Structure 1
């Protein structure tokens, strides 16, 4: 009898999750109900699954609102009706037009208007009347209206306490304090399931209304298939037999390209994989991925294929990936096993500025009705909830800040307002807050996707489903991951810059040659990898140096070892130690030696978890993979996961494994698996790392320019500029006659671009170089103003950053001049002048800018000084007792160093205390690392960018030296002189 039920997916309005909603309905004797969340169908499929499991009849619907005003409810008669409702909402979302006050005609859905609607009702349209409106029917002549009245009892909350939570949600949504939430902005106090029989009692005098309602609901049947079925596009060619034949043809042709004609091992593996792919009905998935790669390659786009699918030799032969499964001895079962119901993951990375075109191709190739981006659901979390609740309560910002400060937790517990916030927080935590867009997931479906969801149009401008990847998987959809990353942009642009600047063409795909290059491997071993994808962070540099990493295979392992799971389990150190002394490895059990000899008994990759579960604990491949996925957060059935954990221990005991060994193996598995990569995934990253490192080794200047122009990587922009200078680049300040919007390079001369100038308007960033290209170099300040129409404020920025130094005038002279030219004008005229009027010349005293003034201008406008170093700005000439390259010779000694701050990383100890890792440059520009233990750093904290005096003990591990900090303090710089 409930036609208008809402879940938490009525965002910042409804309070009950789908399971809670169904449980509450059961408790109130409800046997059928309609889920009608506000302007979305996010929860419909989950609702149907939950109701089917609990024995309630689910009916799907939507509530349509405009400007917070209820227009009407749509109730699907069947699957076709739900599609009609979703299509209707989708049309208005995608075209960004308001919903109409009157619903269109639906063939398979009913419309229910709120009582009071005065329009003409169509055959499938009704009026919903609440029990508190029944008095309006007293002595009324109903006539034809009698058959159109339905009982309307909205459900938004579970009880009175839930209603209070609802009020807070409304306050958060409207961004007002609780007392300013108006009656019309929230639901009624009785908008909940009523106890059994109570709703019928309220309508007892109008039993025909109950009959109408019951009859309508009885006519609704949600004829969706039960359980998970494959809803992805089922064929590529339109015929499964043709799909199989095309995939085989492409794979065998690709095998010849990759391995030659006579490689029997490759042929055996390809044929075995093709058989399994066909049996599991994944041919279309492979072919569609191949088609996406084919298109992007035809456009000249670089890509990196990774994910578990990169374990596949067929994927390698189709050029989806660059990872050779034979060379790496990749574990087939991590990619596919006979029990697998979903295809393997392919994560396809493109340059950040090319991905959107690839997505656009997918939408056009496979049709807008069958293609959509995957959504996500962000939730209320931790501090954000406290802040939101505090604002709704009307608390001052300072008090709210105190509530989010973990150091004040003892005081907060005594605060009544904080206790109230905590009570609300506990009910609101992890509730859905807003819909968003997945990082790169794309769905390609067999049936129109609106059978299952309405579509949103987020800022990205492409149709997006209203649920997330977990719900997609449960319904029966598997995503294609089309991702972007800056690293590919670095590579693509660097190759182009080398061709333009040095007239050399590079085939960046000759990765196997790069892997054997002594110069490239020497830089890898030395940690000279800043700017290179995945191997540039201090932690990765440190790991590679400890491993003395100088080969592809070691780098593949390192790419997974760096993940938090291996490090937190203590197995990173174990791996490094065993790597240097493989003959002294002590294996936990003979099975571990048999399965993990390649990684010295240490679980490094995700497939290692599967191997251990299968061969050590005796689990089957499906359960082992589900266990791995559960640890990585990709499997949401907690009950099933806990059953598999118990099964791991039970089966291992049945096989006679010693209990102590089982406990230690499980400790390693559980602490590691959620944060590891598959081996193929690591190998894909390593391939890209080698491409970057090759460019940095032999074309460092062009490479670093590409890093800067693709908006950097792990480090601040200043560090990449320093890397440019260390590689022999002569870096110049922006100049209106030499700079472009981006950084450019000519020979060894590099001009910073206008993009990096803080405060410079985007219009002038593009206009200044474009006007110069069209009409020649600028002759003077006056010429710049006349040709670009630049105003006073923007002209001052260019003068202060040094962009008009070609004039031979000092900044102060130019500032005088620009104020004389533009000081009295709000904005110069944009109309063309008939005659160029010479500027008046004035006799000025000698105006000179000091080097220190210039450095401060650069700090302000670029974020770093270019004409001086940060060390030059120090008030002291002291540069430390030793430099970075000499650290290894002072192990065990207390030293004093001066370092320029690069970055820091905060970690938590086992006792939940904070400790820090720092990264610094010495005066020669060489890097060194610091460790800050909890007992020291609060006394001597980081204070942002600048140079620090560091006192600490030199320690070394596997030949890598760092400093355990005892004291450190930020050093003062020369004061900013009086500047214009």
Structure 2
């Protein structure tokens, strides 16, 4: 009898999760019900699964509201009816038009209006009447609507406590205090499941209404497939046989390209993988991914295929990835096997400015009805809940801030208001709050996707499903991850700039050549990697220097052991120690030496877990991967997991391994697997790192310009500008006659772009270079003002940053001139003049700018100085006793050094005390690192950008020197000479 049931997915309205909703229904003797969440179908598929499991007949529906007012709700007769409801909501979401007051004529769905809706009603339309409205039927002729009346008992809450939670949710949604939530803004206290028989009793005098309701529900059958089925696009060519033949042809052709004609090992692996791909019906998935790569390549886009997909030699042959699985001994089962519980996917990275075009191609190629972006569901989180509840309570900001302050935890526990907030918090924590968009997931379906969800239109402007990747997996959809990252933008633009600036073409895919290049590997070893993807952070540079990393394989390992879990477990230190002393490594068992010799007996990758399970315990690749996933918390069946653990031990003993050795190997495997990292993923990162480093090594100026124009990487722009200068680039301030919107390069001359000028209007960022290219260089200040129609404030910004220095006049002279030209006057017209009128020249005293004044202008308008360095701005000439490169010669000594702040990282010790790691440049531009232990940090804190005098003890680990800070103070700079 429940036609209008709501879950938590009626965001900031309903309080019941889908499982709780179904449990409550079971407890109240409900045998069938309709889920009708407000303006979304997020929970429908989950609802059907839960109901099937609990023996309740699920019926799908949607409630339509406009401006908080209930218009009507729809009930699907079948799968087609749910599609009609989803299509209707989707149309209004995507076209951003309001819902109509009257529902359309659905063919396979019923429409229920609240009682009081004017007659007449269409054949599929009904009136829902609440039991408290039954009195209005007394002595009324209801002949015309007798067959149209249905019981209306909405469900939004579970009990009285949840009603209070509902009120808080409504206050949060409406952004008002609790007392301002009106009765119209919330549900009734009785909007819940009633005890068995009670609803029927309330309608007993109008039994025909119960019959109408029962008959309507009986006619509804949700004819969806049970369990997880493959709902993705099933073929690429339209025929599975043709798909198989095309995939085999492409794989064998690609194998010849990658390995030559006679590589028997490659052929064997390709044929094995193709067999598994056929059997698991993944041909279309591979071919669609290949098609996406084919399109992007035709547009000149560069991509990186990474993740577990790089374990596949077929993916390598199709150019989806650039990682050679044979070279790195990668296991295909890590990517795809018959027992995998969640679908595999390829992670394809593009430049940040190219991804949308690739997504647009997918939508057009595979059809808007069959393509959508994946959604996400953000939930209420700890501190945000406290803040939201506090606002609804009407508490002042200072009091709310006190409740979120961890240092006041003990005091807050004795506060009645805080305890009340905590009680609400416990109910609200992790409830869905709002729908959003996944980072890059795309779905391509066989059936129209609206059979399973309505679609939203987030700011990105592409249709998006109303559930997340976890729900997609359970329903039967495999996503394609089309991602973006700045590193690819760096590479792409650098290659273009080299061709334009040096007339040299680079094949950036010749990665194996880069890996053998001695200069590239020398820079890797020295940590000269700023700007290079994944290897530019201080931690990664430090690790590579400790490892003396000078080859691809070690870099792949470094990309994995840098991760927090591996590093904190002590395995990073063990790997570095063994790397430098490989002859002293003691292996637990010959199999450990045979399988882990490359990583000196240390498990570094997820694939290492699989190797040991296979070769030490005799497991097959499929079971080994399932066991690995189980140890990572990704396998839900404990019974199956325990069976595989038992198989590991039994298999090892059967192979003659000593029991105490088996126990120790298992201890190492189980302790590592939980935070292990895919080797294929690391290898993909390392490939891109080599591409970046090759460009930095041989074309450092073009590379750093590309880094700046793609909005940098790990560091501030100032550091990349310094790297440009160190590489021989002559960096010029922005200039209206030489600069573009972005940084440009000609020979060794680099002009900063207008984009980096703080306060410059976007209109002029584009207009100034466009006008110059159309009509030639600007001739004078007056000519510039006339042609751009620039206002006084924007002109002053350009003068102060030095962008009008082509005039030969000082900034002060130009400021006088611009005030005379534009002060209290309208802007000069940029219309063509019949006669060129020469501007009047006024006699002015000699007005000059100092370097110090210029540096302060640059600090304000660019964020860093060009005219002087930060060291030049110091009040002292002292630069320390030694430089960064000399630290290694003073290990154990206490030294003084002056360093320019680059960045800092806060970590917590085992005692939950904070400590810091710092990164600095000395006066020569060389990098050094500092460690700030808890006993020193409160007394000597970081104070932002600038130069610091540092007193510390030089320590070294594996040949890498750093400073343990004892005293630490920011140095004062010369005062700012104010320009009036």
> What TM-score results when the alignment is normalised by the length of structure 1?
0.97
Distance 1:660 1:129, change over 3 A: farther
Matched, 1:881 2:871: no
- Whether the 8 Å CA contact 1:412–1:418 is kept in 2: the answer is yes
- Report SS of the residue matched to 2:262: coil
Cα distance between partner residues in 2 of 1:213 and 1:311:
56
Q: Match of 2:347? A: 347
> Bigger shift: 650-659 or 766-775?
650-659
Contact 2:8/2:15 (8 A) holds in 1? yes
Q: Which residue in the other structure is 1:51 paired with?
A: 51
- What corresponds to 1:500 in structure 2? 500
Determine the C-alpha separation between the residues in 2 that align with 1:467 and 1:391. 29
Instruction: Give the match for residue 562 of structure 2.
Output: 562
Which residue of the partner structure matches residue 947 of structure 1? Answer: 947
Q: Supply the distance in 2 between the matched residues of 1:712 and 1:50 (Cα, whole angstroms).
A: 48
After TM superposition, give the deviation of residue 849 of structure 1 in Å: 2.0
C-alpha separation in 2, matches of 1:36 and 1:75: 8
Relative to structure 1, the CA distance from residue 739 to residue 135 in structure 2 (aligned partners, 3 Å threshold; closer, same or farther) is: same
For residues 670 and 134 of structure 2, what CA distance do their matches in structure 1 show?
A: 60
Query: Do 2:801 and 2:857's aligned partners in 1 also have CA atoms closer than 8 Å?
Result: yes
2:903 alignment partner, SS class: strand
Shift of 1:139: 1.7
Distance (Å, rounded) in 1 between the aligned partners of 2:826 and 2:207 = 74
CA distance in 1, matches of 2:323, 2:898: 44
Q: Give matches, 1:629-778, under 5 Å.
A: 629=629, 635=634, 639-640=636-637, 642-643=638-639, 646-647=642-643, 650-652=646-648, 654=650, 655=652, 669=669, 672-778=672-778
Match of residue 166 from structure 2: 166
Kindly state the Cα deviation for residue 659 of structure 1 after the two structures are TM-superposed. 8.7
Report which stretch shifted further, 650-659 or 83-92.
650-659
Other structure's SS at 2:361 match:
helix
Change (3 A) 1:441 1:702: same
Query: Structure 1 residue 761: deviation in Å?
Result: 0.8
Distance of aligned partners of 1:790 and 1:667 in 2 relative to their CA distance in 1, 3 Å threshold: farther
**Where does residue 72 of structure 2 map in the other structure?**
72
Please state how far the C-alpha of 1:672 moved relative to its aligned partner. Answer: 4.4
Q: Structure 1 residues 587 and 19 mapped into 2: Cα distance closer, same or farther (>3 Å)?
A: farther
**2:300 paired residue number:** 300
Give SS of 2:326's match.
helix
How far off its partner does 1:666 sit?
A: 6.1
Listed as ranges, the matches of 1:831-870 within 5 Å are 833-870=833-870
* 8 Å contact from structure 2 (residues 343, 473) kept in 1: no
2:385 counterpart residue number: 385
Q: How does 1:64-213 map to 2 (within 5 A)?
A: 64-213=64-213
Structure 2 gap segments, 5+ residues each: none
RMSD: 2.0
Q: Deviation string for 1:616-661 (max 9, x for gaps)?
A: 567665554345445657x4x6x52x55665565455555588987
CA pair 394-578 structure 1, distance change in 2 beyond 3 A: same
Of 663-672 and 694-703, more deviation after overlay is shown by 663-672
Q: Secondary structure at the match of 1:65?
A: strand
> How far apart are the structure 1 equivalents of 2:902 and 2:495?
28
Contact 1:569 1:668 in 2 (8 A): no
Distance (Å, rounded) in 2 between the aligned partners of 1:940 and 1:618: 57
SS of equivalent residue, structure 1 residue 325: coil
SS of 1:144 mapped into structure 2: coil
| TM-score after normalising by structure 2 | 0.97
CA 1:833/1:102 → structure 2, altered by over 3 Å: closer, same or farther? Answer: farther
What is the aligned partner in structure 2 of residue 585 from structure 1?
Answer: 585
Q: Following the alignment from structure 1 to structure 2, what is the Cα–Cα distance between the partners of residues 948 and 408? A: 33
SS at match of 2:686: helix
1:309 aligns with 2:309: yes
Question: Is residue 2:61 matched to residue 1:61?
Answer: yes
> Partners in 2 of 1:674 and 1:764 — Cα distance?
53
User: 1:822 and 1:17 mapped to 2: Cα distance?
Assistant: 64
Shift of 1:909: 2.3
Native 8 Å contact 1:627 1:644 kept in 2: no
CA distance 1:975–1:183, change in 2 (3 Å) = farther
Write the distance in 2 (CA, Å) between the matches of 1:931 and 1:607. 34
Answer with 191-200 or 75-84: which moved more: 191-200
Q: Residue in 2 aligned with 1:932?
A: 932
2:265 paired residue number: 265
Deviation (angstroms), 1:467: 0.7
d(CA) in 2 for partners of 1:526, 1:770: 42
The separation in 2 between residues aligned to 1:424 and 1:259, in whole angstroms, is 62
1:594 Cα deviation after fit: 4.1
> d(CA) in 2 for partners of 1:967 and 1:658?
55
The 5-angstrom pairing of residues 360-759 of structure 1 reads 360-614=360-614, 621-622=621-622, 624-629=624-629, 635=634, 639-640=636-637, 642-643=638-639, 646-647=642-643, 650-652=646-648, 654=650, 655=652, 669=669, 672-759=672-759
Q: Secondary structure at the match of 1:167?
A: helix
- Of 330-339 and 728-737, more deviation after overlay is shown by 330-339
CA distance, structure 2, for counterparts of residue 280 and residue 450 of structure 1 = 26
The whole-number CA distance in structure 2 between the counterparts of 1:624 and 1:384 is: 41
- Residue 610 of structure 1 deviates from its aligned partner by 2.9
Alpha-carbon distance between aligned partners in 2 of 1:155 and 1:624, rounded to the nearest angstrom: 47
Structure 2 match to 1:807: 807
Per-residue deviation, residues 572-625 of structure 1 (Å, max 9, x unmatched): 111111111122223345553343232222221122233345555676655543
Q: 2:961 aligned with 1:961, yes or no? A: yes
Tell me, yes or no, if the aligned pair for 1:741 and 1:755 is still in contact at 8 Å: yes
Aligned to 2:136, the other structure's residue is in SS state helix
Q: Which moved more, 1:764-773 or 1:556-565?
A: 556-565
Q: 1:569·1:671 contact (CA, 8 Å) conserved in 2?
A: no
Deviation sequence 1:420-473 (CA, Å, 0-9, x none)? 222221111111111111111111111111111111111111111111111100
Which residue number in structure 2 is paired with residue 238 of structure 1?
Answer: 238
Aligned 8 A contact 2:374 2:469 in 1: yes
Aligned residues: 976
Whether the aligned pair in 2 keeps the contact of 1:802 and 1:811 (CA below 8 Å) is: yes
SS of residue paired to 1:920: strand
Task: Classify 1:835/1:667 alpha carbon distance in 2 versus 1 (closer, same or farther; 3 Å).
Answer: farther
For 1:671 and 1:869, the matched residues in 2 are separated by 49
| Structure 1 residue 279, shift from structure 2 partner | 1.3
Which deviates further from its counterpart, 275-284 or 521-530?
275-284
- Closer, same or farther in 2 for the Cα pair 1:918/1:346, shift >3 Å? same
Post-superposition offset of 1:975: 2.1
Deviation at 1:119, TM superposition (A): 4.3
C-alpha displacement of 1:190: 1.4
Query: What is the rounded CA distance, in whole Å, between the counterparts of 1:538 and 1:416 in structure 2?
Result: 47
Cα deviations by residue, 1:784-819 (Å, 9 ceiling, x for unpaired): 111111111111111111101111212122112212
Name the counterpart of 2:323: 323
* 1:328 alignment partner, SS class: coil
Instruction: Work out the CA distance in 1 between the residues paired with 2:604 and 2:956.
Output: 24
Native 8 Å contact 2:627 2:645 kept in 1:
no
Which blocks of at least 5 consecutive residues in structure 1 are unaligned? none
Q: Measure how far apart 1:209 and its partner are.
A: 1.3
Question: How much does 1:271 deviate?
Answer: 1.3
After superposition, the Cα gap between the structure-2 partners of 1:626 and 1:152, relative to the gap in structure 1 and judged at 3 Å, is: farther
Cα contact 2:363–2:372 (8 A) shared by 1: yes
User: Residues 235 and 889 from structure 1, CA distance in 2 versus in 1: closer, same or farther, beyond 3 angstroms?
Assistant: same
